[in-house]
Structure 1
């Protein structure tokens, strides 16, 4: 074969190799982030999204990051693909994650401890340092008698969680409409405060926080209760326009 022919073959092989690298060497960002196995949970906030990798239990976030809500210690730099959330010491993975308005929270899978990151102008991170946000996870203050959390939910500017043993509900952050449920509307909190317990309710099985109201399901009866803003009837108690600083029962559909 002539020297020119050899050069042509080498060039063709090089092009083929580059093509193979392009095909097999670059995975999609989502697959790469999840270890190519998938996600166990995903949560959408106002302008960002977070998820937990199915196998490793690692957390990833993407989207806006103006307040550090992606948790990757790169505050102000958003991402169009999943980026790994910084892992606090002692945490091996996450069991649940929730994205709020401009903050994110998650529960550690072994200890049951809660961590939050992002905006903290109203104390929504729950670490007793209102006004000081964080681009990495910070631990939520633990109320007396609480050993861990079974679930956490991030609203617009407040956060709520359910204690894993007692089933009691706690909220923290903004409280202008009574969304913390502690019968003290207008007074926010930088640490968890107990939600008032409705008559006949021994604990809560699930809780969800929105912009200015919160709702939960009673663990024994399965009844739903809501508290906070009610300008559009979002509390479901057939009394639109009248908010509540404590849980009120949602009307039962017939």
Structure 2
């Protein structure tokens, strides 16, 4: 799919090369422990295996693997897959662990067409990618590859826009609510009504790291060179001049992670 639910053209397939994938890996945050607790509790029979759809460079995948879950990372971008597989944690997880088989497999695919076997997983995760999906098709594919009683989890790291200065920051970065807590995802008749868990936390980063974070956003990647420069200038002004942040010392950026889970 090239177009998400918002009607915005997904720029990742066309604009993300190795440099962009490396910046994504280095600046995008991981996920709080509470998000994993909610996701792993969703399946009716526990989670021994999972599929992380739209895995990117592995921000959510890594936490699954660290918790001993055998995980298939499905990612359409070759650059993202390449950077994911270069991580030391991923290399270790892809090795045969004392004859028990690898904890991690990385494959090319999409949410709508994973290429995986039917009834093969306890959990399917859409982390930070649901806004790009054809939800009815992706939900049908998730239901196909899930075992009976398995669960689908939609996970979104979002800036805590209820905080006034963060709300303005999100407007400047054009990275506000991707999904909204008051809008329960409609996963269709193949899933139970999703349940919402919210987890608050903070990312520690410097002004320069925040500028780099903004460069990984789809709104930046889809913009013209002139527009990109303007977005970075506005963000630099807001952080350094308006908010008066130290140019070197880290500051705390509040997030809320929204986790919707639904059993097939």
Same fold at TM > 0.5: no
Q: Which has the higher contact order (CA 8 A, sep 6+)?
A: 2
- The higher radius of gyration belongs to 1
Q: Normalised by the size of structure 1, how large is the TM-score?
A: 0.24
Q: Normalised by the size of structure 2, how large is the TM-score?
A: 0.24
Indicate the structure with greater helix content: 2
